[in-house]
Amino acid sequence: MKSVLDNVGKRLLIAIQLDGRITNQDLADSIGVSPSPCLQRRKRLEDTGVIDCYETRIDLSKVTQFIEVISEITLNTNKGADERDFESYIANIPEMTSCRAVTGSVDYFATFVAPDIRHYQTIVDRMTDELGTIETVTSHVVYEHTKKYTGLPLTLLLDD
């Protein structure tokens, strides 16, 4: 699919991804437009959901001990109702920091953070017992981040 953004829009997204706290004046200067149109473009990207949110990445290891677990979750069936029930249920698990529906031999990849393995196991046990539609949960404890998230490769993905 061809990008729906013009070159200024692309430069704006790239600059904001590098520094979400950039001032409007600095952003305008960096993408080569005046401040007023820059602010209008940014607001339009926010209003349309292209810019979804601004967030801070926290290095949790510098403030507390925790474990991170990547889980492969398989449901008993692939019926729409079971998937909807699962997705509705996980919305209320704060320790689950992300979940993706995937193709292949499992249905979901989920990432959890918890104070310790017992806490994580309690979450999985409760989820399995209360839902009744989970066939398997395979857990992988993360012991090191070998590549941290540095943003989307916008220059590559938005290239026409």
Per-residue pLDDT of 100-144, as tens digits, reads 999 999 999 999 999 999 999 999 999 999 999 999 999 999 999
Pair of tokens at residue 111: 């990432």
Which of the following CATH numbers is that of domain 60-142: 3.30.70.920, 3.40.1080.10, 3.30.365.10, 3.40.50.300?
A: 3.30.70.920
Residue ranges of the chain that CATH labels 1.10.10.10: 7-56
Chain region(s) in the chain for CATH 3.30.70.920: 60-142
Give the tens place of pLDDT for each residue, 38-75. Answer: 999 999 999 999 999 998 989 999 999 999 999 999 99
The letter for the amino acid at 16 is: I
Q: What is the CATH number of domain 7-56?
A: 1.10.10.10
Dihedral over Cα of 37, 19, 100, 9: its sign: positive
